[in-house]
Amino acid sequence: MPVHDNSHKYEIPRKIEALLTKDFCTEFYCQLESAFPATELSALDGIEWDSIECSEGWAKAFDAASDKLCPELKAYVHSLQEYDCDMFADKVTSVLRDYGIIGV
């Protein structure tokens, strides 16, 4: 029996991806600044964002931004299994980069 099952594939639903607007992502980043020292966020390079994704601060910031702008995103994230939630967080980080909110 294999130890790892690489057959699981997560894809964010298009409807949910469309909710990750620039306004939402900007608000989420503002909430991250409340959860983490600004110097800590600005010092993160692309790979280090993995260190805060799905952390308690990340989750609180995401929930706060969702409560303010898009409760549907909060409900969606809370419906995910842990592995899918990690992959969703990776997608959110990618969208933050795409919008230029965080560095590459």
Read off the tokens for 20: 């990750």
Long-range contacts at 51-60 (CB < 8 A, ≥ 24 apart): 53/86, 53/89, 53/90, 53/92, 53/93, 54/85, 54/86, 54/89, 57/32, 58/32, 58/89, 60/31, 60/35
> What does the mean pLDDT of the chain come to?
83
Query: Would you state the pLDDT for residue 55?
Result: 76
Looking at this protein, which amino acid is placed at residue 31?
A: Q
Q: Which of 5-9, 17-21, 40-44 has the lowest mean pLDDT?
A: 40-44
Averaged pLDDT for residues 23-29: 95
> Is the overall model pTM greater than 0.85, yes or no?
no
Q: Which of 23-32, 37-46, 72-81 has the lowest mean pLDDT?
A: 37-46
Q: Is the pLDDT of residue 77 over 70?
A: yes
Distance (Å, rounded) from C-alpha 77 to C-alpha 65?
12
**Cβ 99 vs Cβ 25: under 8 Å:** yes
Cα–Cα nearest to 20, from 90, 104, 103: 90
Query: Would you state the pLDDT for residue 22?
Result: 98
Averaged pLDDT for residues 37-58: 64
